[in-house]
Homo-oligomer: A and B are copies of this chain.
């Protein structure tokens, strides 16, 4: 079995054979963030995503208690098909299981959210360097001073990811990413980190530092850690997310995310 499609990756996870990070698997298939919340928190979170589409580009929402994301992977089961999960109670991380069948509740609503891997593929195809991939580390991510638009019980700062680029590459990356609003879309800032409240570019809040070379400027995108940070701040009694880097593989192809 080769892990060359979204379906193959999910099947491997379901069989307990894959509990590893997913970057590089099933190239061309859309990988996604997952948030599961009880139904009585779902309206607030759906509204949070609608009001903050760049950090929270929503791909699909499941019916309460139904683990099948019909729009993006009609044969998937969210209880088994990710490599690893995080279980949260009152905003605290309490477990990191590899499947959640015994923790499933019939009031859980699933939110499948686009992630940056889709646009990173496109940058690489365009011969634009993606520094953290070159250096074999996690992308650097930072809390900013940019507040998300609050919705119900959810609020918090926008978290951004950073990729250093030359101006020429930054301009090309902007036009490429602008076609992918469901994978965060165009960057939201470039240049001075302090302008968005980042005190030290060398000390990311999440992920790893990367080298910024002469002639490059840091370019910042809205990041899918934002909804997780909002979740931790809102402290719902129960929530499940993907484990960072251990994404949900959909049946969508990267090209499906070009919204028209």
Contacts and interface: CB of A to CB of B under 8 A. Distances in A.
A238 interface: no
Contact of A260 (B42, B71, B178): B178
A181 B259 contact: yes
A: interface residue count bin: 10 to 19
A185 B259 contact: yes
Contact of A43 (B43, B51, B71, B149): B43
Contacts of A32: none
Given A178-B260, A260-B185, A260-B186, A46 B50 contact: yes
Contacts of A185: 259-260
A257 interface: no
A227 to B, nearest CB: 15
A128 to B, nearest CB: 18
Interface in A44-88: 46-47, 49-51, 58, 61, 71
Interface in A120-169: 149
B61 A47 contact: yes
Interface string A165-188: 000000000000010010001100
B149 A71 contact: yes
14 contacts: A43-B43, A46-B46, A46-B47, A49-B50, A50-B50, A50-B58, A51-B61, A71-B149, A178-B260, A181-B259, A181-B260, A185-B260, A186-B260, A259-B259
Interface of A: 42-43, 46-47, 49-51, 58, 61, 71, 149, 178, 181, 185-186, 259-260
The 10 closest A-B pairs by CB, nearest first: A186-B260, A43-B43, A178-B260, A185-B260, A181-B259, A46-B46, A47-B61, A50-B58, A50-B61, A46-B47
